[in-house]
Amino acid sequence: MGVLQIAIAGDLHDQWDHSDHAVLEDIRPDALLVVGDLSDGRTRIPGLLRQLRLPLACVLGNHDTGRDSSGGRLRHQLDLLGDLHCGWSLRTLTPPGLAVVGGRPATAGGGHHLSQAATAVFGPVDLEDSARRIERAALAADPALPLVLLAHCGPTGLGSEARDPCGRDWKRQPCDWGDHDLALALERIRARRPVPLVVFGHMHHTLRRQQGERITFLRDRRGTAYLNAACVPRHGEDEHGRPLRHFSWIHLGQEGVERASHRWYGLGGELLYEELLWCAAPRQVPPSLRAEVLDFSPQSSSSIPSPPVLERC
């Protein structure tokens, strides 16, 4: 297997249109992963995702229930997405040769909670049952393929401060707001096979109450990388008035994640800005560079200034 280039679209919140399709046609990732919160239960974006001609996997988030406790809006989107949606299931993307397993659909984080809408669609599912569903799907994947866990909210265990990847930032007392069922499943899966990458969103990059920016990438001692792709808003423009489209970007090789970044593209597919999060070789990005790059993130407004010169791998 060569190095796979994977584009990730964070929480869309209705910011997805044909301009994103045009950018994807120009930049040609090997696969696209979508972490949910497409909108507030509307069907426009699921219909657009069905039109894409590239390998794609998606999970739905808490906003996708549309505050419809009957589950009708959630069910309609699931019907439109069909096999693109991989909540609690395995989606094998061939090409390029990638196994994607989805976490609990429509999660809002906070340990384990199934909303009324999700219960109406899927029935009652407790924490242990949810973890087993994720585990079974992952262990059914071809062991020769790299495995990615795709979830709307990340797992517990990534830190309890507001700025951590799944840290609660909207109350004065921060805590770990990750999903416990995903963490349980991950540990069980890794006892049987490697998991090089966990991708999620939900916890927006810009913290509330002017607390700064979230840590969006971690890598643990077992080689699993965790990427929070929830750059909101993901459509914007820079100080020159150039429209921008955000995608997180992963280079996934045989030994795991080789490079991770957040990227902002122009409408012609040109890479205008990149925040480099991780580079496996020849060295990791220094913390000082990461802090400098975060200064020009567009996550708190619809425009960004010109970036500093970025150091490349």
Position 111 scores a pLDDT of 94
**Is 32 a domain residue?**
yes
**Is 212 a domain residue?**
yes
pLDDT in tens, 219-240: 999 999 999 999 999 999 999 9
Per cent of the chain over pLDDT 70 is: 89
pLDDT for 46 beyond 60 = yes
**Is 310 a domain residue?**
no
**Is 85 a domain residue?**
yes
Question: For residues 175-200, b (16+ Cβ closer than 10 Å) or e, as one string?
Answer: bbbbbbbbbbbbebbbeeeebbbbbb
Range of the domain at 190: 4-304
The per-residue DSSP string of 152-220 comes to: SS-BTTS-SSTTSTTB--SSSS--B--BHHHHHHHHHHHTTS---EEEE-SS-SBPSTT--B---EEE-
CA dist 177 and 156 (Å) reads: 7
> What is the total count of domains within the chain?
1
CA dist 236 and 246 (Å) reads: 8
- The encoded tokens of residue 148 equal 């990615």
**Is 293 a domain residue?**
yes
**Is 20 a domain residue?**
yes
CATH code where residue 47 lies: 3.60.21.10
Q: What are residue 49's phi and psi, to 5 degrees?
A: -60, -35
pLDDT for 30 beyond 70 = yes
**Is 309 a domain residue?**
no
Contacts of 178 (CB under 8 A, 6+ apart): 109, 111, 153, 154, 155, 156, 157, 158, 165, 166
Name which of 11-25, 34-48, 65-79, 299-313 the model is least confident about. 299-313
Per cent of the chain over pLDDT 90 is: 88
Task: Report the DSSP beta bridge partners of residue 32.
Answer: 7, 56
pLDDT in tens, 100-129: 999 999 999 999 999 999 999 999 999 999
In the DSSP assignment, the letter for residue 63 is G
Average pLDDT, the chain: 91
Q: Which helix (H) or strand (E) holds 303?
A: strand 303-304
Position 313 scores a pLDDT of 31
**Is 312 a domain residue?**
no
pLDDT in tens, 161-218: 999 999 999 999 999 999 999 999 999 999 999 999 999 999 999 999 888 999 999 9
Q: How many residues does the chain have?
A: 313
CA–centroid distance for 7 within its chain: 9
pTM for the model stands at 0.91
Residue 11 pLDDT grade (very low, low, confident, very high; cuts 50, 70, 90): very high
